[in-house]
Structure 1
Amino acid sequence: MKEPRGPRRQRNVPTISDVAAHAGVSPMTVSRVINAENNVRDETRRRVEEAIAALNYAPNAAARTLAGGDDIRIGLLHSNPSFAYLSEFLVGSLDQASRSNVHLVVEKCEDGGETAAVDHLLRGRIDGVVLPPPLSDSLPILKALEERGIPVVAVATGRAPEWALSVSIDDRQAAYDMTRHLAQLGHIRIGFITGNPNQTASAERLEGYRAALAEAGLSAGADLVADGMFTYRSGLDAAEQLLERDDPPTAIFAANDDMAAATVAIAHRKGLDVPGDLTVCGFDDTALATTIWPELTTIRQPVIEMSRQAVELLVRAIRSGKGAAMDRPHVLADYELIRRQSDAAPRRRPTARKPR
């Protein structure tokens, strides 16, 4: 039978992260010094030893964690407006945490409270952090974690810093593929609903959309693009704008499933048949894509698998003590275009006769 764990440290007792911050190194480096490993420069070793003495730090399970033990605590900091996306991300993270025999600590970050959220999370002796979007693009959070020497895996970002690990897909190519698919169906006016401008995935998907239109010789005018924020509410407003145009699109590609579902709702409200009058496509293939009618044609971003890979990558980095110096610090996951019932060729309407 597994022995019960000893009492947890009091929060006013210095941790390995405190030593790392005091010495200006990573927690993995502190672990190497504690375990008398040879791959540490003399000057670095001296700074760590001085920090240990200054803080009166006593190595405990935290040091053994970084040396390869199983007492690892992974933080997951989230602030995703899409409940469907976050639910799938949590499923994968929790599953992999159980497989890897580590603890997963989930913390929500409120708008404007990035630094406070990081401080609160790290007070629980966190050995590494997984950042799903949009926080994977948050410069304040990434900077705060880098300064504290905490290993990080940024998920679904196109601009992961060199020191961090990452898991993502090729958002630009995926959006290009979907837009090209719509053009090949015969759609000439293809609308697009963007995502949150603070997320790199938004810009990547917009670029892919525009590239496919340019290749097909189709218009990519401003009247075909509406701003969204990856939320259902923003999708309602954006779809309303696009469908109120003098020459509305016959197909709308939304940058995530939440906004695509909102577009379907607006189409139904206006008496439009989907896909007879309007083709609607999404991105992510969350559970929402198959719980509305008609079911969404979408890009399958393997959210559950990506979150599993993120936890696995982070645990491996912590246990190996190599951090971002691993062989595969940046994982590119596969995506797939999934066709369901929400897309079709544009309906051909008879040309109106001129009055005699």
Structure 2
Amino acid sequence: MSGVSPKTVSRALNDEPHVSARVRQLVKDAAAKLDYHPNLTAQSLIARRSFLIGLTYERPSPSYVVDLQNGALDRMHNGRYRLVVLPFNHASERPEELGKLLLRTGLDGVLLAPPACDQIELLDLLDRQGLPYARITPQKDLARGIVITMDEVAAGQAVASHVLDMGHSRVGIILGDPAHAASLARLEGYRRAFAEHGKILDENLIVTGDFTYAVGYDAALDLLRRDPAPTAILAQNDDMAAAALAAARALGLAVPDDLSIAGFDDSEVSRTAWPQLTTVHQPVSAMAWDAADRLIARLDATPDGPTLDQRHEHAHALLVRGSTAPPPAHHD
């Protein structure tokens, strides 16, 4: 129907190079008229490839997981690659076990979200076995593999500077899971902001959470029951910031009149909370899309193809909303 050879049909349907846009569309139009759909299993057997790309992550907030998956799925929409989601807990303690899981799954490649993206033992295993990977927001050994980054230190510095600029000096901090290198990077950003403003970061006001609402709630209560209590709380994700908002209300505190709260991620909960949360926009979907795109480009690369860019940094943005204001002493 399209008037070209079977090989050209194959190349067009698989979005391979060396096919003009006109011929590619001609073939796809013919396939649509014939209601023809390539059999992915048969393709896998012939090519001796699975056309499966894994995505592994560990206990992040639900909205972060959704953004990760949606970004990767958007890139694979209507393509021959399919996404296999592989959540795995305690990757920092069991990197070899995670690596064996990824290898057993028969993947063509894998997207590594935190904290797996920073496990050097895991990267060593994948390199030895020749399994291509793309790393989403790693903090270590950035010369390895495809690397999609955001400046976590600068993002942490921006949100801390925001509350310091408004006059806060007694600032509580709820860290994320210490196994995530991004948590330490954001803390470094807070420290830089305090140093830049000539203020002292009270180490006794730094408590550890794990990016979950429940632990964030308990951590916020701990901070707010201290004497004197902080006038602002920086939580390292929006789930914990929303938990801090609930804890403040449980103690009869008004946000932002009595207490300012800022989160991180710009997840849906930051927009549905009241007041809406000041937060750092982290382009999770865009980074997952980018990681999947570059990984697929590597998997489909030909010897005479263009050189692929292995690293790309995405920008963050501070979003100031209703949950932050000057401390009580600054109000009229």
* Separation (CA, whole Å) in 2 of partners of 1:206 and 1:120: 32
Shift of 1:160: 4.2
In the alignment, which of 53, 65, 69 is matched to residue 86 of structure 1?
Answer: 65
Q: Is the 8 A contact 1:261 1:289 kept in 2?
A: yes
Q: Is the 8 A contact 2:298 2:308 kept in 1?
A: no
SS at structure 2 position matched to 1:130? strand
What residue identity is the alignment partner of 2:106?
Answer: R
Tell me what 1:284 maps to: 265
Q: TM-score, normalised by structure 1?
A: 0.76
Shift of 1:91: 1.0
Shift of 1:349: 7.6
Which has the larger displacement, 252-261 or 142-151? 142-151
In the alignment, which of 243, 246, 251 is matched to residue 227 of structure 2?
Answer: 246
Tell me what 1:43 maps to: none
Tell me what 2:6 maps to: none
Q: Is the 8 A contact 1:256 1:284 kept in 2?
A: yes
In the alignment, which of 37, 47, 71 is matched to residue 61 of structure 1?
Answer: 47
* Separation (CA, whole Å) in 2 of partners of 1:300 and 1:3: 39
Shift of 1:298: 0.1
Percent identity for Structure 1 against Structure 2:
35
Which has the larger displacement, 262-271 or 131-140? 131-140
Q: How many pairs were matched up?
A: 292
What residue identity is the alignment partner of 1:159?
Answer: K
* Separation (CA, whole Å) in 2 of partners of 1:307 and 1:177: 23
Shift of 1:331: 1.2
Tell me what 1:96 maps to: 75
Residue by residue over 1:176-200, the C-alpha shift from the partner in whole angstroms, topping out at 9 and shown as x without a partner, is: 0111111111112122111211211
Shift of 1:284: 0.6
Tell me what 1:74 maps to: 53
SS at structure 1 position matched to 2:257? coil
SS at structure 1 position matched to 2:300? helix
Report whether the alignment pairs 1:260 with 2:241: yes
Residue by residue over 1:69-108, the C-alpha shift from the partner in whole angstroms, topping out at 9 and shown as x without a partner, is: xx73211122233112111111111111115542111122
Tell me what 2:39 maps to: 4
Q: Where does structure 1 lack aligned partners over 5 or more consecutive residues?
A: 10-58, 66-70, 351-356
Map 1:162-181; keep pairs closer than 5 Å: 162-181=143-162
Residue by residue over 1:24-51, the C-alpha shift from the partner in whole angstroms, topping out at 9 and shown as x without a partner, is: xxxxxxxxxxxxxxxxxxxxxxxxxxxx
Tell me what 1:207 maps to: 188
Q: Is the 8 A contact 2:63 2:267 kept in 1?
A: yes
Tell me what 2:323 maps to: 342
What residue identity is the alignment partner of 2:158?
Answer: D
What residue identity is the alignment partner of 1:87?
Answer: V
What residue identity is the alignment partner of 2:127?
Answer: E
* Separation (CA, whole Å) in 2 of partners of 1:290 and 1:61: 46
What residue identity is the alignment partner of 1:283?
Answer: F
Q: Is the 8 A contact 2:170 2:202 kept in 1?
A: no
Q: Is the 8 A contact 1:189 1:250 kept in 2?
A: yes
Residue by residue over 1:211-267, the C-alpha shift from the partner in whole angstroms, topping out at 9 and shown as x without a partner, is: 101111112121221112222222112212211221211111111111111111110
* Separation (CA, whole Å) in 1 of partners of 2:239 and 2:143: 31
What residue identity is the alignment partner of 2:323?
Answer: S
Report whether the alignment pairs 1:109 with 2:144: no
In the alignment, which of 297, 304, 308 is matched to residue 278 of structure 2?
Answer: 297
Runs of 4 or more off by more than 4 Å in structure 1?
5-9
Q: Is the 8 A contact 1:107 1:117 kept in 2?
A: no
Q: Where does structure 2 lack aligned partners over 5 or more consecutive residues?
A: 1-35
Q: TM-score, normalised by structure 2?
A: 0.81
* Separation (CA, whole Å) in 2 of partners of 1:193 and 1:132: 21
What residue identity is the alignment partner of 2:163?
Answer: L
* C-alpha RMSD of the superposition: 2.3
Map 1:140-179; keep pairs closer than 5 Å: 140-179=121-160
* Separation (CA, whole Å) in 2 of partners of 1:316 and 1:7: 22
Which has the larger displacement, 181-190 or 205-214? 181-190
Tell me what 2:29 maps to: none
What residue identity is the alignment partner of 2:194?
Answer: L
Q: Is the 8 A contact 1:223 1:242 kept in 2?
A: no
Shift of 1:169: 0.5
Q: Is the 8 A contact 2:40 2:80 kept in 1?
A: no
Tell me what 2:200 maps to: 219
